[in-house]
Amino acid sequence: GQALLVLLLSAVVSLLGGLIFGYELGIISGALLQLQIDFHLSCFKQEILVSALLIGALLASLVGGILIDRHGRRRAILVSNLVLFGGSLILTLVTSFIGLVIGRMTVGFAISVSSMACCIYVSEMVAAHQRGLLVSLYEAGVTVGILLSYALNYIFADIGEGWRYMFGLAIVPTAMQFLSILFLPVNPVKLSSWDSDCQKGLIQLQSAEDREETKREPYKEKQYSFLDLFRARDNMRRRTLVGLGLVLFQQFTGQPNVLGYASKIFHSVGFQSNSSAILATVGLGAIKVVATLVAMAFADKAGRRVLLMAGCVVMATSVTTIGLTSRVAPLAMARDCKTAGDPNASYSLTQHPPMPVSSQPAVSPFPPALGAVRSRAGAGFAVARSLTEGFVSIQSRELGPDSLLTQKRGLVGQSKKERVDSTSPPFSGAPWTENMVWNWITLLSMMAFVSAFSVGFGPMTWLVLSEIYPAGIRGRAFAFCNSFNWAANLLISLSFLDLIDAIGFSWMFLLYGLMGVMAVVFIYLFVPETKGQSLEEIDQQFSRKR
């Protein structure tokens, strides 16, 4: 009974950790629509506010690993919950722009530490045959959190200062996670003696055979310095190569940007109204959830390598198809940022940025450079941006001169003459009816890409990272790789539109396809299979293998 309770609580901690992460990523889209009015935010201030979460997350990646290794995974999660509570409280009560930035940085720091600590803690708490399922549950929570945030965005959209409720509700799952982990034991690998409650049998997470083998050969935790990650000791260099390779290929296969065009593709296949486009993008998020559940079911059966390679093959095929079809049926690109104080002035972020769901100018809470910053695994935030574009567009229509919200806040919106008729073709001058077949192929390819990422790179990267490093340096190693994840994501986001200008949309996606093929080769050559093995066995496997 106690073992079952611990398993259930571990699952709750993993799921709530992902849900909080996804919720904080997605909630800014709806909140920023109101914040730009209440605080008269310029486009530059919007960029600062959106990027504040990234800055906090990067800081956490640099110092969070030390906290996790020195003070334990459980304590790190508890501390991150308290910090997140403080950040949410700041955002709920704030009255200045500086306070908003500080609150979002605090939240970014907390969810980044929590994301690393949750994956490591759960992977060490459960038996080998359950590890894939419970660690992957975190990734499912990220996507569910994003979808939940959009539902609440819609609910509070017409409520005065509704953004305070949006930010404040994050306290609820945070408190639930805090209470859940209080009933879980201290992480076994952090204990100095095998005479702990877990080993005495009060909380038995492994089978009888596993426990007998553990008693025969007790695992002695080694101490490592950060520089050992780059040394030959215990084959640490190869482990670092595997970790960085997975993180970088996860980004370079194009997932941060592919879904940025989701709303435009939905329009091209006939989802003409804004509401139907939003429904379609929410459906895309639901596909992600289902695909992640499939990954959870097969992570401990098919194995990590199989899911990673299969996902990469489908991803490479999908983006290559998108690249080829876009040469036949090109997609238009245009998006402007507008300040709340001057609806007629537009601030062009790039020469040819992606356009939102509707052709009318809309205030985008995610600028191309900073808005493409994603979640720990990345894919969740891509869905967030595509959902955001649809959500922002429909809200922009509601903020017209005749709306109640406009009368309350005095916002001058677009005139009715400037609105786009929902029955008109989505892109001016585009032969969208003639290219319908190609557009549908593009849509199906994008759905395949989402599913493949959610089965492969999405959950498996972080599962493997939580397994391949020795316990004594696992937190710092995970944080080191996580910092490269954020940095690579930002680099791709900053360079994406410039590369499109330089080589074209189709060639950009063909390049992503090539990177997908290279990822398959890398996984085949360097990433070992870890299913069904204890963390100690994985450590010994790496230590022996050159």
pLDDT tens per residue across span 129-142: 888 888 888 888 98
Q: Spell out the domains of the chain, with CATH numbers in brackets.
A: 1-183 (1.20.1250.20), 228-331+437-545 (1.20.1250.20)
* Cα–Cα distance, 100 to 73 (Å, whole number): 29
pLDDT digits (tens, 9 = 90+) for 71-125: 888 899 999 999 999 999 999 999 999 999 999 999 999 999 999 998 888 888 8
Any idea which of 69-83, 202-216, 338-352 has the lowest mean pLDDT?
338-352
Query: Helix, strand, or coil here: 55?
Result: helix
DSSP code for 204: -
Rounded Cα–Cα distance for residues 533 and 541 (Å): 10
**176 Cβ contact list (under 8 Å, min separation 6):** 12, 16
Q: How confident is the model at residue 372 (pLDDT cuts 50, 70, 90)?
A: very low
Is the pLDDT at 32 greater than 60? The verdict is: yes
- The pLDDT, as a whole number, for residue 236 is 87
**Which phi and psi angles does 346 have, rounded to 5°?**
-115, 145
**Rounded to whole angstroms, how far apart are CA atoms 67 and 354?**
40
Terminal C-alpha separation, the chain:
43
According to the model, what pLDDT value does residue 379 have? 43
Query: Pick the residue with more confidence: 362 or 253?
Result: 253
What confidence tens digit (pLDDT) does each residue in 8-24 have?
888 899 899 999 999 99
The yes-or-no verdict on residue 381 having pLDDT over 70 is no
One-letter-per-residue 3-state SS of 78-132: HHHHHHHHHHHHHHHHCCCHHHHHHHHHHHHHHHHHHHHHHHHHHHHHCCHHHHH
pLDDT band at 338 (very low <50, low <70, confident <90, very high): low
Most confident of the ranges 30-44, 160-174, 399-413: 160-174
Residue 418 CB: number of other CB atoms within 10 A? 11
Residue 542 has pLDDT above 60, yes or no: yes
pLDDT of residue 473: 87
Which position has the higher pLDDT, 480 or 385?
Answer: 480
Least confident range from 29-43, 190-204, 490-504, 513-527: namely: 190-204
What average pLDDT does the chain have? 74
pLDDT digits (tens, 9 = 90+) for 467-488: 888 888 888 998 999 889 888 8
Share of the chain above pLDDT 70, in %: 69
Q: Is the pLDDT of residue 201 over 50?
A: no
Strand partners, 346: 338
How far are the Cα atoms of 322, 324, 326, 332, 404 from residue 445, in angstroms, in the given order? Answer: 7, 11, 12, 18, 41
Residue 28: per-residue pLDDT = 86
